[in-house]
């Protein structure tokens, strides 16, 4: 562990005007608070805060951030308090320490809904002061460097959290070196065999080809001298995780990988960046489609560079990044460059972005998203995305994540443009809306009055903003239809138990269920997010149920071994009264299929997995889900009458999906809960007898196999 004098010396290397006394006092205070505490490795706990502070000195951070690193665990893990830290070191540092403490307490790897809420809190903390997340990232980096002392299950959890959240966040902030190290450290825990294999192949490759990095660096140096360009050339092999990810994405082996080496050319001026690019392209052939100009079109986190991939020695592809010293500082520090010091003054790097503006641009599109899952999806899309730059017909630049489509482009301009989009042209040529955009393309959006977003658009767009806007529009459009359907379903359910549905009753049930009001409850029933049965049970919990001597659902099948569990196959949905057979699955129990199910052909030769079963004799409860394929007339009242018929047959509708809508007929898949095959036949006969039902079939879906 470095002592306080060494830590101050590290800060003074880039900030001679540092408040050395304040840093030393913070060092002594932290050491005193953590006295007697040990890490999993057995080292004194205070070695960790000191190491985090040292990592931040490498980024040339200000005094407040260095002191926050020294104290970042005091409020959480010691007798220290916010008031005491504020009294000793001031309000700014106390707020930063408190912010890091709150971030530490977020369980980011918990369930999806809670994870989404924690992401909101994380972005909120970042928006107040970006230095909080810089300390947290450095804290995570040191923990990953020393992760071997943790329990195995804890290592896996922390590594997964690092790979999913902290590494992409560091990359989004422009701290690419930290992203790569975090990914590699997590990769070492999550897939050590793959990492070791790649390292072994690198060693073999180096033995066969010699020091390729030194050879290519020398070649580039020679070309720069020939062009009269003053340049520093740096080369490196890409990290094992980066290589493994590319192998997985492209489904190729290590021997077929080309650009496993990267080179940086650092020059004094922007003009020399383009001169250096010309020199590289004169000497080596450029790989088509692999040139990116992030100088004229910088990334939102301030990153600027020219990227090109060329065929170098022996036809090997190498990536070359060309930038100035100032661009290189921002490329290394990212958003953190805003706080970096040099010679006692805040470094005035013209390419460093204002963190407040950066975080505002990152979070503005999430603020209105009410759906937790949609919010989390949007955050991850934004964090993982690279960018492409496209143009409007007027020549304005629009930044889009890689994989974006013309629909994303339309929504990025304005929600109204996206909602009314009917087509798009790329470079003057009409293209499908699912076309993936590429750098430099000109995009023209065609709109029409009356056009509304389609449900299929959700699968076309790639940005969180577009997905949120489409979902919002679909919800509004469907609300009236869902409310109408929900009213019919609820009315039938109330009549089924001899009660009358009233607005007062619906509002009372909504309050108990935590729903805004009765109208919202009806919309949820109509969209199958809430069952009418749940509303009845909420209002009348003591109402006797017509169960009689019903067979327990868990013992509905005869022929299983003790302890064996079973499930009904989703492809054929067998019900009591039908001939059935069981297929055993390792770890999944037994899957029940109808004897005539087409899916059984796949396991025809595996007789050892077949289990002879039959249904228990007796009265079964109406809980067996069956899908019906209906085509009905598109007239007012028809759907309500269908719902009434289902209720009259003592069945419950669990889901309803429209699969085709024409001016005269609707086709829909209706999921109903039934007792047995006789109940199914009775219901189908009642529906078929209705004059507005054109056809009714039992829906079979072989895609829904186990």
For 370-422, how does the pLDDT look when each residue is reduced to its tens digit (9 = 90+)?
Answer: 555 555 555 555 555 556 778 888 877 787 877 889 999 999 889 899 999 99
> Confidence band (pLDDT; 50, 70, 90) for 330?
confident
Asked whether residue 119 falls in the same domain as residue 263, the answer is no
Classify residue 57: in a domain, yes or no: yes
Which residue range is the domain that position 319 belongs to?
194-346
Classify residue 58: in a domain, yes or no: yes
pLDDT at position 111, please? Answer: 46
Question: Would you say 37 and 45 are in contact if contact means Cβ atoms under 8 Å apart?
Answer: yes
* Residue 134 pLDDT exceeds 50: yes
Q: Which of 515, 539, 563 corresponds to the end of one domain?
A: 539
pLDDT at position 207, please? Answer: 77
pLDDT at position 693, please? Answer: 87
Summarize the confidence of residues 643-656 as an average pLDDT.
86
Classify residue 467: in a domain, yes or no: no
**CA 130, 133, 136: angle at the middle one, nearest 5?**
155
Asked whether residue 237 falls in the same domain as residue 320, the answer is yes
Asked whether residue 50 falls in the same domain as residue 172, the answer is yes
Asked whether residue 612 falls in the same domain as residue 685, the answer is yes
pLDDT at position 530, please? Answer: 81
* Residue 107 pLDDT exceeds 60: no
Surface-to-core class of residue 602, CB atoms within 10 Å of its CB (0-12 exposed, 13-18 middle, 19+ buried): exposed
Summarize the confidence of residues 197-201 as an average pLDDT.
84
Asked whether residue 136 falls in the same domain as residue 278, the answer is no
CA distance 410 to 204: 50
Q: Which residue has the higher pLDDT, 170 or 631?
A: 631
Asked whether residue 506 falls in the same domain as residue 641, the answer is no
DSSP H helical segments within 260-309, as ranges? 270-283
* Residue 27 pLDDT exceeds 90: yes
Total residues belonging to the chain: 706
Phi, psi for 387 (deg, rounded to 5): -125, 150
Asked whether residue 664 falls in the same domain as residue 704, the answer is yes
pTM of the predicted model as reported, rounded to 2 decimal places: 0.56
Q: Which of 346, 381, 411 corresponds to the end of one domain?
A: 346
CA distance 416 to 503: 35
Q: What is the pLDDT of residues 335-368, one digit of tens each?
A: 777 777 776 676 677 777 776 666 666 555 555 5
Q: What is the pLDDT of residues 527-541, one digit of tens each?
A: 667 888 888 888 887
Classify residue 423: in a domain, yes or no: no
Q: What is the pLDDT of residues 311-327, one digit of tens each?
A: 866 667 788 999 999 99
Classify residue 458: in a domain, yes or no: no
Q: Which of 346, 368, 388 corresponds to the end of one domain?
A: 346
* Residue 601 pLDDT exceeds 50: yes
Classify residue 363: in a domain, yes or no: no
CA distance 566 to 557: 8
Summarize the confidence of residues 678-706 as an average pLDDT.
81
Asked whether residue 186 falls in the same domain as residue 254, the answer is no
Q: Which two tokens stand for residue 268?
A: 């004094």
Q: What is the pLDDT of residues 418-475, one digit of tens each?
A: 999 999 999 888 888 889 988 778 899 999 888 888 878 888 888 878 888 888 887 7
Beta bridge partners of 426: 429, 443
Summarize the confidence of residues 660-686 as an average pLDDT.
87
Asked whether residue 630 falls in the same domain as residue 525, the answer is no
DSSP H helical segments within 578-696, as ranges? 638-648, 677-688
* Residue 112 pLDDT exceeds 50: no
Residues noted as catalytic: 76-77
pLDDT at position 322, please? Answer: 96
Number of domains in the chain: 4
Asked whether residue 164 falls in the same domain as residue 243, the answer is no
pLDDT at position 380, please? Answer: 55
Q: 201-210, 276-285, 554-563, 651-660: lowest mean pLDDT where?
A: 201-210
Asked whether residue 586 falls in the same domain as residue 643, the answer is yes
pLDDT at position 375, please? Answer: 54
* Residue 575 pLDDT exceeds 90: yes
pLDDT over 90 percentage in the chain:
27
Asked whether residue 199 falls in the same domain as residue 171, the answer is no
**CATH at residue 54:** 1.10.3210.10
Classify residue 396: in a domain, yes or no: no
pLDDT at position 547, please? Answer: 47
pLDDT at position 703, please? Answer: 63
pLDDT at position 113, please? Answer: 44
CA distance 333 to 507: 55
Classify residue 383: in a domain, yes or no: no
């Amino acid at each position: 562990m470095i002592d306080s004098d060494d830590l101050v010396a590290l800060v003074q290397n880039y900030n001679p005007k540092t408040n050395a006394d304040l840093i030393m006092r913070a060092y002594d205070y932290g050491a005193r608070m953590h006295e007697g505490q040990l890490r999993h490795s057995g080292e004194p706990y205070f070695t960790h805060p000191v190491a985090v502070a040292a990592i931040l000195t490498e980024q040339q951070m200000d005094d407040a951030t260095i002191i926050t690193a020294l104290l970042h665990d005091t409020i959480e893990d010691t007798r220290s308090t916010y008031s005491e830290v504020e009294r000793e070191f001031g309000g700014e540092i106390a707020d930063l320490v408190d912010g890091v403490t709150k971030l530490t307490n977020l369980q980011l790897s918990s369930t999806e809904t809670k994870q989404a809420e924690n992401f909101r809190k994380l972005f909120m903390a970042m928006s107040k002061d970006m230095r909080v997340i810089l300390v947290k990232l450095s804290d995570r980096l040191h923990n990953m460097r020393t992760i071997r002392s943790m329990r195995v299950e804890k290592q896996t959890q922390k590594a997964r959290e690092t790979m999913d959240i902290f590494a992409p966040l560091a990359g989004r902030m422009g701290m690419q070196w930290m992203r790569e190290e975090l990914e590699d450290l997590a990769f070492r825990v999550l897939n050590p065999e793959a990492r070791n294999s790649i390292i072994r192949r690198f060693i073999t490759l180096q033995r066969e080809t010699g020091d390729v990095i030194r050879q290519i660096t020398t070649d580039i140096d020679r070309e720069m001298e020939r062009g009269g360009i003053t340049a520093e050339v740096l080369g490196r092999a890409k990290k094992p995780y980066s290589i493994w990810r590319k192998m997985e994405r492209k489904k190729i082996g290590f021997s077929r990988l080309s650009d496993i080496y990267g080179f940086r050319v650092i020059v004094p001026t922007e003009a020399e960046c383009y001169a250096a690019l010309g020199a590289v392209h004169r000497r080596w052939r450029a790989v088509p489609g692999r040139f990116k100009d992030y100088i004229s079109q910088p990334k939102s986190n301030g990153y600027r560079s020219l990227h090109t991939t060329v065929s170098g020695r022996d036809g090997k592809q190498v990536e070359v990044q060309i930038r100035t010293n100032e661009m290189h500082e921002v490329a290394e520090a990212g958003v953190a460059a805003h706080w970096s010091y040099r010679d006692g003054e805040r470094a005035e790097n013209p390419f460093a972005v204002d963190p407040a503006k950066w975080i505002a641009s990152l979070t503005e599109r999430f603020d209105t998203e009410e759906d937790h899952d949609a919010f989390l999806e949007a955050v991850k899309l934004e964090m993982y995305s690279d960018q492409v730059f496209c143009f409007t017909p007027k020549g304005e630049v629009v930044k889009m994540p890689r994989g974006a489509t013309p629909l994303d482009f339309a929504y990025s301009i304005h929600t109204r443009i996206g909602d009314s989009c009917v087509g798009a042209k790329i470079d003057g040529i009409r293209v499908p809306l699912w076309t993936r955009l590429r750098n430099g393309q000109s995009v023209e959006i065609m709109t029409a009055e009356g056009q509304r977003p389609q449900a299929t658009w959700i699968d076309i767009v790639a940005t969180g903003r577009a997905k949120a806007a489409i979902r919002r529009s679909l919800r509004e459009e469907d609300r009236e239809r869902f409310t109408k359907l929900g009213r019919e379903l609820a009315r039938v359910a109330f009549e089924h138990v001899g009660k009358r549905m009233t607005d007062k009753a619906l509002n009372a049930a909504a309050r108990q269920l935590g729903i805004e009001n009765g109208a919202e409850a009806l919309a949820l029933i109509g969209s199958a997010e809430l069952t009418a049965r749940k509303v009845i049970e909420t209002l009348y919990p003591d109402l006797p149920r017509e169960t009689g001597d019903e067979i327990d659902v868990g013992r509905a099948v005869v022929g299983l071994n003790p302890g064996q569990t079973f499930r009904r196959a989703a492809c054929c949905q067998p019900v009591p009264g039908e001939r059935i057979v069981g297929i055993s699955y390792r770890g999944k129990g037994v899957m029940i299929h109808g004897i005539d199910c087409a899916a059984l052909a796949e396991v025809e030769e595996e007789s050892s997995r077949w289990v002879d079963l039959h249904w228990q004799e007796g009265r079964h409860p109406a809980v067996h889900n069956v899908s019906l394929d209906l085509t009905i007339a598109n007239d007012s009242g028809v759907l309500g009458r269908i719902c009434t018929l289902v209720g009259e047959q003592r069945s419950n509708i669990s889901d309803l999906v429209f699969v085709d809508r024409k001016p005269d007929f609707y086709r829909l898949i209706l999921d109903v809960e039934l007792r047995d095959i006789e109940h199914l036949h009775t219901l189908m006969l009642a529906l078929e007898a209705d004059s507005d039902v054109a056809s009714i079939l039992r829906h079979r879906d072989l895609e829904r196999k186990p």
